[in-house]
Chain A
Amino acid sequence: MHPFSLFRLWLVQIRYALTRELAFRANFFAWVIVELSWFVLQLAFVGVVYHHVDRIAGWSRNEMIVLVSTNQLIQQIFTAFLMPGLTKLPELVRTGKLDFVLLKPVPPQFLVSTAQLEIGPLANAGIAAWVTGMGLHALGIVPTVASLVAYLLLLMTGLLVHYALLLFLVSLTFWIVQAESVLLGYYSIFQVARLPREAALGWFRVLFTFALPLLLVANIPAATLLRGMEPGPMALFLLTSLSATLFASLFFHQGLRRYQSASS
């Protein structure tokens, strides 16, 4: 299918999902508050730790706030556009409703990934962007246009890592009947992304830099704002993110072969 057609289909799906979301406005505000409370929790943790120390792995308090809020920004964009669809996959497989996806003349991975939308997280992404700005302001840093553009591109690259991990985890549902725990797994594993890269050593650093680049997801964009562009780490980030996405996509298609439709 032509990429432009897929883009148009995605816009139609967004419009449909938006209409559905706006039918439950109270739910929208409730979820904004819930997601915000989890962000406050992360900032409170930073506050408590820096109550006892001045720097962690070379990162000051305000630099850490930029790191944590950048991570939140990526996660909220992911939660808005891609996560809701992916988390529905275990249910689609268990109930056999994946049949309806497979019958459509569109790549199933695309349909599964983009079928749902949540607008609440976008409000929280705005708050995270504001906190990032506040952190930079406190540090007296005014980013250049080039570093801002690079930051935005790196955010997109970070989305790929989120996507790869969750696509891999939800694809386990083709082997495991009830795989609701994968969401817990996603949130547990992604705690790594909030760590300063310099804090990780040994096998942990190698694993989460080269195999699953979680240590790069928020670190590279945040470091670009704080310390300027570093072509080497940026290229590594792009390469590992694309590899992880490709691997997850292959795993999804491998799982799809095992799927037995409800009617067969």
Chain B
Amino acid sequence: MTIQDIQTILQPELVNRLERKISYLSDLQSAIKNNQISQVYQLLDPHKFNDNLQKILSETSVAQLDSLVADIKKDIAAFLAPELINYVVTNFDFLTLEPVADDTTLYDVYIGDWWDHRQLGTLNVLTVVLTSDDSITSELIETAKLSDEETLNATKIQEVKKVITGLESFLADNTKRSLELQVIEDQLAEISANKSGLFGRSDKVTREALEKKQELLIATQKRMPEVEEKLNKQQAYLLRFEKEDALRQLELQAISAYYVDVPTFITELQHIYVSYMTKLDQK
């Protein structure tokens, strides 16, 4: 077979493939040009689009398509993001989204706009998938099962509070201990002044008893910095536990204002692609 023969055999398939690529990119260009967002998503991942929306299955491989737009993915994401973000914040208005630095394809999703709101997950603008943090959702499911007065950290909080009360009372007793120490020092000084030994043996016994007590008090006083440090640690624990509870409570309140329960909310998040595409199709 000549070179020309080989080329003649391969040419139609190659031309065909190039045409498909040109056609694909042309379709994508047209969709972007005409603001046909749904069409853009369909072109980016026809399998997902068709599977989810029961459309005719395309034979094109996603990987093949992906490679065609690999170098402009971030730009496509920047194009798609405003509409999607608007959809998310309109339909889940207690969620706040913040772009991930240096990656236009991703947005961090937080519950609420309060102080130190927790990150629920990450939204991929190109795939319209919200990857959520299972630990947060399971905590919320657990919290929802509790009565109004209960919290997940209630027992821990109670324990830490007890420890704090003990430590605080130890610290508060320091003035009393200082005074007691002063009295002992005075008494010891008085005994020392009675060197003549008028009281003999009883003086010695008293001195020993006082010295023991003095030693004990000094040792207790020396523990002050250590106790203060422990108190600080316990207060930090208490704050952490109370903050966790407060965050969960607010998150649950926000979700409950819109959904019957947490699983329904999670399901909604998992179906965000379908609901978004449906919404786009209705436009």
Q: Do these two chains really belong together in a complex?
A: no
